[in-house]
Amino acid sequence: MALTVRFEEAAAAKERSKIAVIGAFSCGLSLCNQHTIVLYVLCIIPWILFRLLKEKELAVRSLLRLALAFSAGLLPYVYLPVSSYLSRARWTWGDQTTLRGFLTHFLREEYGTFSLVERFWMQSNAVVAVLAGLGLATLVSETHRVLNCHGTRYLEWLSAALFVAYQIYSNYSICDQRTNNVIDQFARNLLDSMPRDAIILLRGDLPGNSLRYLHYCEGLRPDVSLVDQEMMTYDWYLPKMARHLPGVRFPGDRWSPVGGVLPSGVVTFSLYHFLEMNKQKETFVCIGIHEGDPTWKRAYSLWPWGSCDKLVPSRIAFNPEEWIKRTRSIYNWTEEYGRMKTPFFIFNLAETATVPPDVKAQLYTHAYKLYKEIVYSQEEHPVNWHKNYAIACERMLRLPGTATDPEVLLSETIRHFRLYAQKAQTDPQRADIIAALKHLRQELRNLRNKKTV
- d(CA 254, CA 232) in angstroms, rounded, equals 6
| Cis bond before residue 287 (omega within 30° of 0) | yes
Whether the CB-CB separation of 362 and 320 falls below 8 Å is answered with yes
Q: Which of 97, 38, 106 is nearest to 77 (CA)?
A: 106
For 193-197, 353-357, 412-416, which range has the lowest pLDDT when averaged over its residues?
A: 353-357
Encode pLDDT of 76-98 as tens digits.
999 999 999 888 888 888 889 99
Residue 416 has pLDDT above 70, yes or no: yes
Residue 452 has pLDDT above 80, yes or no: no
For 15-24, 137-146, 191-200, 344-353, which range has the lowest pLDDT when averaged over its residues?
A: 137-146
Angle (nearest 5°) at CA 82 between 234 and 30: 85
Give pLDDT, residue 172: 92
Task: Report domain extents, the chain.
Answer: 1-73, 130-175, 183-298
Report residue 264's pLDDT band, with 50, 70 and 90 as the boundaries: confident
441 CB neighbour count, 10 Å cutoff: 13
260: left (phi over 0), alpha (psi -120 to 50) or beta: left
For 295-304, 326-335, 374-383, 438-447, which range has the lowest pLDDT when averaged over its residues?
A: 326-335
Residues present in the chain in total:
453
Order across the sheet with 199-202: list the strands. Answer: 225-228, 199-202, 283-286, 308-313, 300-305
Report residue 118's pLDDT band, with 50, 70 and 90 as the boundaries: low
Instruction: Round the average pLDDT of the chain to a whole number and report it.
Output: 87
Q: Which long-range contacts (CB under 8 A, 24 or more apart) does 409-417 make?
A: 410/440, 410/443, 410/444, 410/447, 411/444, 412/372, 413/440, 414/440, 414/441, 414/444, 415/390, 416/375, 416/386, 416/387, 416/389, 416/390, 417/386, 417/387, 417/390
Report residue 278's pLDDT band, with 50, 70 and 90 as the boundaries: very high
Gyration radius from the chain CA atoms? 31
80 Cα distance to chain centroid? 26
Per DSSP, what are the bridge partners of residue 200? 226, 284
How much is the pTM?
0.81
Give pLDDT, residue 114: 60
Q: Which SS3 state, helix, strand or coil, does residue 199 take?
A: strand
Q: How far is CA 132 from CA 138, 145, 370, in A?
A: 10, 20, 55
For 173-177, 221-225, 311-315, 339-343, which range has the lowest pLDDT when averaged over its residues?
A: 339-343
Average pLDDT over residues 354-376: 91
Whether the CB-CB separation of 80 and 102 falls below 8 Å is answered with yes
Give pLDDT, residue 115: 61
Give pLDDT, residue 137: 80
Give pLDDT, residue 92: 86
For 15-19, 204-208, 326-330, which range has the lowest pLDDT when averaged over its residues?
A: 326-330
Report residue 11's pLDDT band, with 50, 70 and 90 as the boundaries: confident
Residue 35 has pLDDT above 80, yes or no: no
Greater model confidence, 213 or 110: 213
Q: What is the DSSP string of 112-171?
A: -TTGGGGGGGGGHHHHHHHHHHHHHHHHHHHHHHHH--TTHHHHHHHHHHHHHHHHHHHH
- d(CA 126, CA 4) in angstroms, rounded, equals 12
Report residue 138's pLDDT band, with 50, 70 and 90 as the boundaries: confident
Average pLDDT over residues 415-426: 93
| % of the chain surpassing 90 pLDDT | 47
Q: What is the DSSP string of 278-339?
A: TTTS-EEEES---TT-GGGGGTEEEEEETTEEEEEETTSPP-HHHHHHHHTTS--TTGGGGG
Give pLDDT, residue 360: 92
Average pLDDT over residues 365-387: 89
Give pLDDT, residue 295: 93
Beta 260-261 vs 267-269: how paired, if at all? antiparallel
Give pLDDT, residue 198: 96
Encode pLDDT of 307-349 as tens digits.
899 999 999 999 999 998 888 777 554 455 556 888 999 999 9
Report residue 126's pLDDT band, with 50, 70 and 90 as the boundaries: confident
Average pLDDT over residues 411-438: 93
Give pLDDT, residue 121: 63
Q: Which long-range contacts (CB under 8 A, 24 or more apart) does 409-412 make?
A: 410/440, 410/443, 410/444, 410/447, 411/444, 412/372
Q: Which SS3 state, helix, strand or coil, does residue 18 take?
A: helix
